[in-house]
Amino acid sequence: MRTVHVQPPSFPEVAPNSPLQLDPARLWQVVAGDADHWRAGVYSPAATCAADLPELEKHTCPELFLLLDGQVTLLIHDGARVRELPLEHGKPVLVTQPHSGFCPGGAHTGRAFVVERDIFSTEYRSPVEWAE
């Protein structure tokens, strides 16, 4: 198990009122935020199936996921079991449980917009450790 702490400001400075640049081959890219409140980014996993995910993460705050394009499936440990949750266009998902994600169509072929707090901690464990 490992823990990571995020402190504000946890996002890059950007030029407001202008398009922001995205790196299509990054797992997680924070693009903007509001100090002490929220930050937003784009999530695009390299993993292509659940077996590619050695660990799940759980934040001390919820995360909102919204599919932008392609396919992204979240792997969620709901306390009793691990289940797959394919994201659907136009249907945001608020995640509070240990999770990770993969792109079933190939590495970085799907992207989700994510909103979370600007200050939180994340605990990382294997799916088996979350079940203990």
Residue 17 domain flag: no
Domain enclosing residue 107, as ranges = 2-11+23-131
Beta 2-6 vs 93-95: how paired, if at all?
A: unpaired
Residue 19, φ and ψ in degrees, nearest 5: -60, 140
Question: Can you say whether residue 119 is alpha, beta or left, with left for phi > 0 and alpha for psi between -120 and 50 degrees?
Answer: beta
**pTM for the whole thing?**
0.92
What CATH number should be reported for the domain holding residue 48?
2.60.120.10
Provide the number of structural domains found in the chain.
1
pLDDT value at 1 more than 80 = no
Residue 66 domain flag: yes
pLDDT value at 132 more than 80 = no
Residue 94 domain flag: yes
74-114 pLDDT, tens digit per residue, is 999 988 899 999 999 999 999 999 999 999 999 999 999 99
2-27 pLDDT, tens digit per residue, is 888 888 778 888 888 999 988 888 99
